[in-house]
Structure 1
Amino acid sequence: MSASLFDLTGKVALVTGGNTGIGQGIALALAAAGADIASVARRDSDETVAKAQALGVRAVSIRADLTSLEPIERVLDEATAALGPVDILVNNAGIIRRSDAVDFTEQDWDDVMNVNLKVLFFLTQAAVKRMIADGRGGKIINTASMLSFQGGIRVPSYTASKSGVAGLTKLMANEWGKHGVNANAIAPGYFATDNTQALQDDPVRSKEILGRIPAGRWGQPADIGGAAVFLSSAASDYVQGIVLPVDGGWLAR
């Protein structure tokens, strides 16, 4: 297989939550494959931008609060003005709230669902409208979760949102495939990020988690890059609606 199938030179990738963790890992992998990067986050993405530029691509930081629909068109406008039309959208931004289901609050439900599902859908809708109008097609990569397959504990809104992401990914593929838009998702396993810090710090839970992972370690942000490059590239042009686990073998155990 030709390496050119994975070449993203000349493509523009917009990555939400690209300032840290898995989002940064994805952004830098896409940059290494040649894509220009727009990193969208509530805080500046200066580190991601500097590292991407060091790889020889263009990169910009766009600040936006993705808890509501308000910044969506501005984000796309800023990315397009700086780099050109968006070819690859990576919906990585997400939040998590932990509490026993019997005590879970409406606020914690709404906050998580807004970021992880509602804004994800409407940002994608806005980006795909532009892709269709331009006749260019594009690649959509959503960030799912192990909890797209499992129930988990103490994270009801997160579980619901990530199950929704898996379903929406299939819906997007069904409706937009005819326009040359590929919609797929990556389901990270247990990665060492801010979202899992509470689990990493709990010696009992951490031991339980590591005991089930055949790879024997927490995932690192760089581990996600290959899957993201694949789903962003011509190598995946006939791949639609999948949820690809990158989990060190968690689901196989």
Structure 2
Amino acid sequence: MPKFAVITGASSGIGAEFARQLSARGYELMLVARREERLRQLGAGLTTTCEIFPADLAKKSECLRLVKELQGRRVDLFINNAGFGDCGMFLDTDLDKELEMISVNVRALHILTKQVARILCRQGHGALLNVGSCAGLMPAGPYMATYYATKAYVVSLTSAVAEELRRKNSAVYVGCLCPGPVNTEFNSVANVKFALHGITPEFCVRCALQGIRKHKTIIVPGRAVALGMTAGRFLPRPLYIKIAALQQKKKLYR
């Protein structure tokens, strides 16, 4: 029987690349995002069965509708990828956009992590990957303050759940993908251009799938970014935030 994977935020970027690589590995898929036409175009080009599940995960009811759809089904892999960012001075950025970001990056991810982990534990196996960011491994991100805060939540929540399951000797895997810059549509949505060269979505997803196989709790694609995150642990917190501010300010279009 083919394995079954669910991917949120599947209409573009990392989510779409997960769909391509998992389909190539024989997974049947459920593709979740707001943009139904994008999902159908993606599914049409894949080689395995793809279910299309249009949903706005900024709404709690839509998250719960997705969970209800998965009840009673075997889920081998759940990619919790939906999310977006914004860039600018905290006092200048749009409040409504930030609240929607919190709804998607934090609330939706929290709901789906809890409910899907329960499904996986009941069935006794499976993997759940939350897509965070290396931003979540840093103490703060001036000029992307809300985005960094949401990703810190993702890293903290995932790490805690993973440890709880380990202590139960559970066969269920929970991990967090923490990439640095990735060349996707994130730039235009977040109103940024990266100060550093980004990796490709293809490389990012290959690293993620390898990390899942190795049961790594935190997966940081790319040696340079991984080394940078490790080195950052040894910096005084105020200095680390100042360095982050200098790098983040380079991203501003204005």
Q: Are 1:51 and 2:65 matched, yes or no?
A: no
Q: 1:23 matched to which residue of 2? A: 15
Count, aligned residues: 221
1:1-253 paired onto structure 2 within 5 Å: 10-44=2-36, 45-52=39-46, 54=47, 57-78=48-69, 84-104=73-93, 106-134=95-123, 136-150=124-138, 151-177=140-166, 178=168, 179-197=170-188, 198-200=191-193, 206=194, 208-210=195-197, 218-232=198-212, 235-236=213-214, 239-240=215-216, 242-247=217-222, 249-252=224-227
Gaps of 5+ in 2: 229-254
The sequence identity of aligned pairs, in percent, is 24
Give the TM-score normalised by the residue count of structure 1. 0.78
Structure 1 window deviating more from structure 2 (71-80 vs 189-198): it is: 71-80
Counterparts of 1:145 and 1:99, CA distance in 2: 18
Gaps of 5+ in 1: 1-8, 201-205, 211-217
Counterparts of 1:102 and 1:140, CA distance in 2: 35
Give 1:183 deviation, angstroms.
0.8
In structure 1, give the amino acid aligned to 2:156: G
In structure 2, give the amino acid aligned to 1:51: G
Give 1:97 deviation, angstroms.
2.2
Using CA pairs below 8 Å that are at least 6 residues apart, which structure has the higher relative contact order?
Answer: 1
| C-alpha spacing 1:75/1:24, structure 2 compared with 1 (3 Å) | same
| C-alpha spacing 1:247/1:100, structure 2 compared with 1 (3 Å) | farther
Counterparts of 1:166 and 1:101, CA distance in 2: 22
Counterparts of 1:101 and 1:250, CA distance in 2: 26
In structure 1, give the amino acid aligned to 2:44: A
In structure 2, give the amino acid aligned to 1:168: L
SS in 2 for 1:229: helix
Q: 2:251 matched to which residue of 1? A: none
Give 1:13 deviation, angstroms.
0.7
1:74-101 Cα distance to aligned partner (Å, 9 max, x none) = 22344568xx422211111002122202
